[in-house]
Amino acid sequence: MATLEVKDLHVEVEEEQENQTREILKGVNLTMKTGEIHAIMGPNGTGKSTLSQTIMGNSAYHITKGDILLNGESIVDMPVDERARKGLFLAMQYPAEIQGVTNAEFLRAAINARRAEDDQISVMAFLKELDKNLALLDMSQEMTERYLNEGFSGGEKKRNEILQLLMIKPSFALLDEIDSGLDIDALQVVSKGVNSMRGDNFGALIITHYQRLLNYIVPDVVHVMMDGQIVKSGNADLAKKLESEGYAGLRDELGLDV
């Protein structure tokens, strides 16, 4: 079992113009284990993406207090690629386009980067796994022979990210707004892919604006983030309650004036 712990995390960003900093995350606490799917919901601009970017190591986000631990080890001083090697996966983390590298070549390199020198995946094993996952995601082989992300539609990019997830098999995936802009068919395919990863060796943090996605990927734990803090956690029913009562209802319940 792997664990991912966020402890009293405070994060600042630089303001564009005034050469000032602003605190976005104001003491976030979160503990996840493999085998669990957590969802974070919350209004726009409350720091959900900041949390996932900070966990993955985007240098635009400065930690001023607190820690992030993977299996008990602090990762905050590790570069992004080391965090990835240690088992974290952030959807959208990969470059938009890499010239001259096909999608399949990229995937194989990404898998091998996480394996020891003497344990590289064989071409045969890779292609077998690729075919299996392409079928699951209803994707054509042709997609993998194209240059990475070149000319991919929004829906194809999302599907391709889930293909990366299935191929790379991280311990923890941070999936930020994987549902945005998807039609219902694509949403179902993306959900099927994530659900196929469910099991003792996989955990996910699903960030979403809407409850709709959580009808397809049913979370074990739902957290609500407001103004840089997790203000409430519960089970999947919490997402349903939010959908019907809105964030305003929760603000009233918690006596928040944010």
Residues at the interface with Mg ion (CB under 5 A): 26, 48-49
The beta-carbon contacts of 140-147 under 8 Å, at least 24 apart in sequence, are 143/103, 144/102, 144/103, 144/104, 144/107, 145/102, 145/103, 145/104, 146/102, 146/103, 147/97, 147/98, 147/99, 147/100, 147/101, 147/102, 147/103
Of residues 63 and 168, the one with the C-beta less far from ligand ADP: 63
**Mode of pairing for the β-strands spanning 21-33 and 229-234:** unpaired
* Nearest approach, Cβ of residue 38 and ligand ADP (Å): 15
| Number of other residues whose CB lies within 10 A of the CB of residue 34 | 18
Contact between 93 and ligand ADP per CB under 6 A: no
Annotate each residue in 39-78 with x if it binds ligand ADP (CB under 6 A) or - if it does not, as one string. ---x-xxxxxxx---------x------------------
Options 13, 75, 91, 189; binder of ligand ADP; rule CB under 6 A:
13
The option from Mg ion, ligand ADP, none interacting with 26 (CB < 5 to 8 A, set by class) reads Mg ion
What is the rounded CA–CA span in Å between residue 74 and residue 191?
A: 31
The option from ligand ADP, Mg ion, none interacting with 164 (CB < 5 to 8 A, set by class) reads none
Q: Which residues contact 158 (CB under 8 A, 6 or more apart)?
A: 178, 181, 182, 186, 190
Contact between 34 and ligand ADP per CB under 6 A: no
What is the rounded CA–CA span in Å between residue 90 and residue 96?
A: 14
The option from ligand ADP, Mg ion, none interacting with 47 (CB < 5 to 8 A, set by class) reads ligand ADP
| Closest chain position to Mg ion (CB) | 49
Among residue numbers 171 through 230, which ones bind ligand ADP (CB under 6 A)? none
Contact between 24 and ligand ADP per CB under 6 A: yes
What is the rounded CA–CA span in Å between residue 192 and residue 103?
A: 21
Residue 120: both structure tokens together: 């590289």
* Nearest approach, Cβ of residue 13 and ligand ADP (Å): 4
Of residues 163 and 230, the one with the C-beta less far from ligand ADP: 230
* Nearest approach, Cβ of residue 145 and Mg ion (Å): 32
